[in-house]
Homo-oligomer: A and B are copies of this chain.
């Protein structure tokens, strides 16, 4: 499977994704699910993908090729006037790929893929979108400033509970690592290394990018510390009195 999260904070956008893909538990590989495009001073775009790997790779390759050889009827990711139109472009490209992959009568569900799209284009705010397998999409708002795709359930409770307004980048990374660690511990099809990216507001660049490996000292601190922190948290609640 896959687990990806995109999160909007006051100072910009934070993205994290795992790198495991699998066709059965006996056939796993490592692929990055994070792709970035930048035009210095003009725009930064980050795309996280989950679902059928053939579909997501085709979508990303088409988007990428069209930034290099712009055709009249296939606009480029580097030329869209707004993030909203960028989300439309990603959705349209996804629909195009599925249309080609699934001949008439064939069930298109197997080709399903979803995306988290985030970025900022000069003249606009940083924006975050979730693109559904159908190619339509929603945007993150004040009430729900994050999106998850892939194996979302294990890591969701901690995001719901511990996320709060005004989190900084460092605290957000900590929260995301706890959410990813919970997921990795519960589902074999989500695995390290993790990709982390941060686009600071009005920088129009991926200012920070890191691959977090299994033996990353900070990841180990969080993973091991979280078990004892959780046990202390449970202990801090009053016991049940029958």
Residue numbers of A with Cβ under 8 A of B are 153-158, 160-162, 164, 169-171, 173-175, 177-178, 182, 185-186, 198, 208, 210, 218, 221-222, 225-227, 229-234, 236-242
How many of these chains are in the complex?
2
In Å, the complex CA distance between A177 and B218 comes to 31
Most buried by B among A158, A175, A232, A234: A234
> Could you tell me the dominant secondary structure of chain A's interface residues?
helix
Partner of A225, one of B198, B222, B237, B242: B237
In the complex, the answer to whether A177 meets B240 with C-beta atoms within 8 Å is yes
In the complex, the answer to whether B182 meets A157 with C-beta atoms within 8 Å is yes
In the complex, the answer to whether B229 meets A162 with C-beta atoms within 8 Å is no
In the complex, the answer to whether B230 meets A218 with C-beta atoms within 8 Å is no
Contact A239:B170 (CB < 8 A) given known A175-B234, A231-B161: yes
List of B residues within 8 angstroms of A218 by Cβ: 238, 240-241
In the complex, the answer to whether B239 meets A156 with C-beta atoms within 8 Å is no
9 closest A-B pairs by beta carbon, nearest first, are A153-B153, A229-B233, A173-B240, A157-B182, A170-B239, A233-B233, A170-B240, A161-B230, A162-B234
